[in-house]
A and B are shown apart, each in its own frame.
Chain A
Amino acid sequence: MREAAPLTSARPPLGTLAWLVTRDANKTIGSGMASIELLRRTLERRGWLDDREHGVFNAVARFTPGTNVLAYLAALGWSYHGATGAAVGVVAGSVPGSVIVTILTAAAATVDRWRAVRVALTVATLVAAGLVLANAWSLVRPHVRGPRVGWTLASVALAAALSLAGATPVRVLLALAIWGALTPPRRTP
């Protein structure tokens, strides 16, 4: 498959991408999307990603079966460096954690044996929760600043209502995709 034109011309070198993904995607505990928020901040600060692109990768990741974070990293890596970049993104985002999980399992250690470890893990989870909420805001932010604020609020309300009604996340996303396709922005004359 040919690599599609990236949304921005600037891109990190492959080695830098590998390092940044390894560093940021393996920094949080309890939620992968918190890691993505850290990575987004790093890449945006360096001019290699903007909120729009982040939103596109996030949408693709949501619709990809399996672990959302790895799908995000595959899409991100492919966008910058094709198949090699995708492989680097997935490996860098999953191997360090996999090694730790394997060591823990092999040692049959119970991480909650020590109080200090439990407290540290809980604090890390609280930080991760904050990052997840920050990620949600970064996704919505471009849409509440444009001309379609009302439409964005209606979309949020619809997604929340469907979710509260018990619809699975995939069904919520599909319903919102249909809603979005049926309500495109009006063309200005």
Chain B
Amino acid sequence: MSLLLLYALLLKASVTSFSGVGALPQIRQDLVVTYRVMTDEDLSRAVLFGRSSPGPVGLYIVSVGHAVRGVPGALVGWLALASPAFLAIPMLALLRRWLHLSRVRSALDAVIVASATLLVPSGLLLARDAIAQLASFL
């Protein structure tokens, strides 16, 4: 598989998801099922490495790239991971332009409150898994 195609596939998966592991189904479909350049075991290991490393959980995409094309693949994986982040810039610029409007301000406040609400189950699930894991060590 060419590096360009690998980048295109990983970017597609990354840009169509809104969370760290949200891209996983698309990556599996493209790289495991369609192109068969990695196995489910490789993919599981990539997710494990992503969760075991500091930084965003989405870093498993770097490991996926490495599993397919070695170090250049890892670089391509990082590029696919990092590229969509820059879409935040025009969004921030637009938001600031309209922020003086009370309805926009109120919509933003509601989104912030919703973000916080959505974080709670994630935090509780992480804690529950960790506590269950710790209990299994005892």
Knowing A71-B88, A180-B108 touch, does A102 contact B62 (C-beta < 8 A)?
A: yes
Residues in B with CB closer than 8 Å to A65 are 14-18, 84, 87
Is A155 among interface residues, defined by CB-CB distance under 8 A?
yes
Interface range on chain A: under 10, 10 to 19, 20 to 34, or 35 or more? 35 or more
Closest to A160 in B: B117
Q: Are B85 and A73 in contact (CB under 8 A)?
A: yes
Is A10 among interface residues, defined by CB-CB distance under 8 A?
no
Tell me which of A94, A97, A155 contacts B113 (CB under 8 A): A155
- Per the CB 8 Å criterion, the residue count for chain B at the interface is 78
Q: Are B53 and A101 in contact (CB under 8 A)?
A: yes
Q: Are A75 and B117 in contact (CB under 8 A)?
A: no
Residues in A with CB closer than 8 Å to B15 are 65-66
Knowing A86-B86, A169-B19, A180-B108 touch, does A79 contact B92 (C-beta < 8 A)?
A: yes
Is A19 among interface residues, defined by CB-CB distance under 8 A?
no
Q: Are A74 and B81 in contact (CB under 8 A)?
A: no
Q: Are A181 and B104 in contact (CB under 8 A)?
A: yes
Closest CB-CB distance, A134 to chain B, in whole Å? Answer: 9
The interface bits of chain B over 66-106 (1 if a CB of A lies within 8 angstroms of the residue's CB, else 0) are: 11000100100110011111111111110111010011111
Is A4 among interface residues, defined by CB-CB distance under 8 A?
yes
Q: Are A118 and B88 in contact (CB under 8 A)?
A: no
Closest CB-CB distance, B60 to chain A, in whole Å? Answer: 7
Tell me which of B14, B122, B133 contacts A66 (CB under 8 A): B14
Interface centre among B88, B116, B126, B129 (most CB of A within 10 A): B88
Knowing A122-B134, A181-B103 touch, does A74 contact B85 (C-beta < 8 A)?
A: yes
Residues in B with CB closer than 8 Å to A187 are 102
Residues in A with CB closer than 8 Å to B122 are 31, 33, 132
Q: How many A-B residue pairs have CB under 8 A?
A: 316
Q: Are A136 and B48 in contact (CB under 8 A)?
A: no
Residues in A with CB closer than 8 Å to B85 are 64, 66-67, 70-71, 73-74, 86, 90
Q: Are A86 and B89 in contact (CB under 8 A)?
A: yes
Residues in B with CB closer than 8 Å to A73 are 85
Considering only residues 51-70 of chain B, those with a C-beta below 8 Å from chain A are 51-60, 62-63, 66-67
Q: Are A70 and B81 in contact (CB under 8 A)?
A: yes
Knowing A86-B89, A94-B55, A111-B52 touch, does A136 contact B120 (C-beta < 8 A)?
A: yes
Q: Interface of B with A (CB < 8 Å)?
A: 14-20, 45-46, 48-60, 62-63, 66-67, 71, 74, 77-78, 81-93, 95-97, 99, 102-124, 126-127, 129-131, 133-134, 137
24 contacts between A and B (CB under 8 A): A31-B123, A59-B115, A65-B18, A66-B17, A68-B20, A68-B56, A75-B88, A98-B77, A98-B81, A100-B53, A101-B63, A105-B66, A110-B48, A123-B134, A126-B134, A132-B122, A137-B116, A148-B109, A172-B117, A173-B111, A173-B115, A180-B109, A181-B104, A181-B110
